[in-house]
């Protein structure tokens, strides 16, 4: 079997997982581009932004859990594309 360097799939079947995966990938890219991304400390602005990202993800999970299960028989075996997770930058 061929080895794949990509740990993340290009698509998934579940709409809720698609929503969360895209949100997490977007926030991961934002964190990597922050001022504190390649230094030994996190400044207060980046920490506040990170806390907001985590709160938003928690709210998204709560929203998904509060929704009724979807009945989508016409689109059941459909793969939904997700944003690729950002490549980790070299921090040195």
The terminus-to-terminus CA distance of the chain in angstroms comes to 34
* Mean pLDDT in residue range 9-17: 82
Strand partners for 81: 11
- Residue 76, both tokens: 């059941």
27 against 14, higher pLDDT: 27
Phi, psi dihedrals of residue 90, rounded to the nearest 5°: -70, 125
Rounded percentage of the chain residues whose pLDDT exceeds 90: 26
**Model pLDDT, residue 91:** 56
**Model pLDDT, residue 62:** 96
**Model pLDDT, residue 57:** 95
């Amino acid at each position: 079997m061929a080895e794949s360097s990509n740990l993340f799939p290009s698509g998934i079947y579940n709409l809720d997982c698609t929503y969360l995966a895209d949100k997490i990938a977007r926030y991961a890219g934002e964190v990597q581009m922050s001022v504190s991304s390649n230094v030994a400390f996190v400044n207060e602005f980046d920490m506040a932004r990170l806390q907001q990202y985590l709160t938003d993800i928690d709210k998204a999970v709560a929203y998904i859990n509060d929704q009724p299960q979807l009945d989508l028989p016409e689109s059941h075996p459909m793969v939904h594309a997700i944003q690729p997770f950002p490549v980790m930058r070299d921090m040195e």
